[in-house]
Structure 1
Amino acid sequence: MTSILTNNAAMAALQTLRSIGSDLQQTQNAVSSGLRISKASDNAAYWSIATSMKSDNSAIGAVSDALGLGAAKVDTATTAVTSALDVVGQIKDKLVTAMEGSVDKKSIQEEIGQLQQQLQSVAQSASFNGENWVMAQSGDSASVVSSFIRGTNGTVSVSTTSYEFNSGATGNVLFGANNGTIDTSSGILGTQDSTVGASVFSLDITGMTGGQISSALNMVQTALNAMTSMNSRLGSISARIDLQTSFASSLSDSIESGVGKLVDADMEQESSKLSALQTQQQLAVQSLSIANSSTQSILSLFR
């Protein structure tokens, strides 16, 4: 039965056209954005996971930046200690020279005095972003961000690696500090040796005997050993930072790849789907046109 009031064929064709139009719009959005899932309504579970992981990945990026800042602090301190080791090594050489009784100890002391001032300059200059790891007050500490952690229960945390300052003769600083000002009476180079009655920084060999210079030589060697240990501690932190930086980079890439597998569109597939849907749309339009024109044939029955 043909009705001029109800065109079932046209309604079916129109419904098909609307469905194809919806699929075509979704495919076009995927092609233009590169995302198969761009909003929660596309797939709530995958969208939620991807959003959380993208947030974590951003945090890992911030941790990587903080690791770079920490690495710069450690590298600055390491450079200062390495330079100080060289200067103290020169002081040691001067003391060995002074063991010869015929040398002018006053002239040697003038050279040692210049080297001592260089040690102070090195310590005061080793500051990065307002932090100085070679000139600090005993009991203080510094830390660098080392990792971002998401627990299995959904909680997040940031771990740090700390560096404790100790301004003793075998501590972790070249000189101590008092309210940010250098304290040349503490630290590896400033702590007085009871045998010599002086520190590496305050050493004066002008009136010393051979035995006293020998004791001073042992004091300088002890300071060199302490500085070597200090440099090793800094080196271990630097190695940890390098490892964590590499891990953070790899982890970030893995997360990004995982998120991509959840929400990225397969462009080859979407391209094929787009062509097919465009063809279907043209056919649906043609079908609707035929369905709409079928009622016109009824007029011929009344001629």
Structure 2
Amino acid sequence: MSSLLTNTSAMTALQTLQSTNKNLATTQNRIATGERVSTASDNAAYWSIATGMKAQSGALSAVKDSLGFGAAVVDTAVTGLEEGIKLAEQIMQKYVAREQDGVDTAAIDAEIVELKAQMVSIATSSDFEGQNLISAGGAAVNIVSSYTAAGGVTTVTVAAYDLEGESATMLDAASSQTALDAMRAAAATMGASKARIDSQLEFTGKLMDAIDRGVGVLVDADMNAESARLSALQTQQQLGIQALSIANQNSQSILSLFR
């Protein structure tokens, strides 16, 4: 039955075209954003998980920055302490040489004074952005090492060592040996802390990569598939427009019945 008021073919063609346009808009959005789940309405479960994982990745980025800063502070201190140990060894040698009869003790004492002054200079200059672990006023530094939603923030504490004050205790060969042993122990402790920080820094980077891959699996669009879908939908859209045009022409054919 042909009806002038109700064009069933046009209605069907219009619904099909509207559906095609909707799918085409979705595909174009995926291509533009690179995501198949960009809003909660796309997939509420995946969007919620991905949002939480992105937040964790952001927190880990801050952890990575903290570890990098902490590694630089400790590395600066270890470098200064190693140089201080070399000077302490020279001081101890001078004290031993001073015990030999006939040597110029005044000259040796002058050398010792200069070596101690150099130790103090190294201690005070081993500073990184206001953080100094081996000066007289140095304090322990707390470094954020990890973060989890359940456990919160975890920190690593690196103790300070007063290299500047230690130089003042070197009064003879025996006390110099004691101070040297203390310096070596402090350097070993800081070195172990630096190794831990470096390891945690590497792990944090890998963990961030793993989280990003997990988010990608949930929300990233397959661009190859979307490209093929775009071509198909564009073809469907053109055919839908033609179908709607043909359906609308049916009303015009009714006029020929009255001529």
| TM-score bucket of the superposed structures, by smaller chain | over 0.9
C-alpha distance in 1 between matches for 2:116 and 2:241: 92
**When the two structures are superposed, what TM-score results if normalisation uses the length of structure 1?**
0.82
Instruction: Give the corresponding residue for 1:183.
Output: none
Q: Is contact 2:141–2:157 with CA below 8 Å preserved after alignment?
A: yes
C-alpha distance in 2 between matches for 1:149 and 1:87: 44
Q: Percent identity?
A: 48
Deviations 1:33-68 (A, max 9, x none): 111111111111111111111111111111111111
Q: Is contact 2:116–2:167 with CA below 8 Å preserved after alignment?
A: no
Instruction: Give the corresponding residue for 1:58.
Output: 58
SS in 2 for 1:2: coil
Is 1:283 matched up with 2:258? no
C-alpha distance in 1 between matches for 2:254 and 2:137: 102
C-alpha distance in 2 between matches for 1:130 and 1:272: 57
Instruction: Give the corresponding residue for 2:145.
Output: 146
C-alpha distance in 1 between matches for 2:106 and 2:222: 81
SS in 1 for 2:145: strand
C-alpha distance in 2 between matches for 1:54 and 1:274: 29
Q: Is contact 1:173–1:230 with CA below 8 Å preserved after alignment?
A: no
SS in 2 for 1:143: strand
Q: Which residues of structure 1 form unaligned runs of 5+?
A: 166-171, 176-186, 191-198, 204-215
CA RMSD of aligned residues (A): 1.5
Q: 1:173 aligns with which of 134, 154, 162?
A: 162
Instruction: Give the corresponding residue for 1:226.
Output: 182
Q: 2:155 aligns with which of 148, 154, 160?
A: 160
Instruction: Give the corresponding residue for 2:123.
Output: 123
Instruction: Give the corresponding residue for 1:209.
Output: none
**When the two structures are superposed, what TM-score results if normalisation uses the length of structure 2?**
0.95
C-alpha distance in 2 between matches for 1:228 and 1:280: 77
C-alpha distance in 2 between matches for 1:15 and 1:144: 61
C-alpha distance in 2 between matches for 1:242 and 1:150: 23
Instruction: Give the corresponding residue for 1:99.
Output: 99
Q: 2:167 aligns with which of 189, 194, 201?
A: 189
SS in 2 for 1:112: helix
Is 1:9 matched up with 2:9? yes
More off after superposition, 64-73 vs 290-299: 290-299
CA apart distance, 1:18: 0.3
Deviations 1:124-154 (A, max 9, x none): 112222121112469x532111112222xxx
Deviations 1:71-122 (A, max 9, x none): 1110111111111101111111212221211111111101111111111111
Instruction: Give the corresponding residue for 2:196.
Output: 240
SS in 1 for 2:252: helix
CA apart distance, 1:269: 0.4
Q: Is contact 1:63–1:147 with CA below 8 Å preserved after alignment?
A: yes
- Count residues in correspondence: 259
Q: Which residues of structure 2 form unaligned runs of 5+?
A: none
One-letter amino acid of the structure 2 residue matched with residue 174 of structure 1: L
Instruction: Give the corresponding residue for 1:193.
Output: none
Is 1:35 matched up with 2:35? yes
Q: Which has the higher contact order (CA 8 A, sep 6+)?
A: 2
C-alpha distance in 1 between matches for 2:230 and 2:146: 44
More off after superposition, 120-129 vs 238-247: 120-129
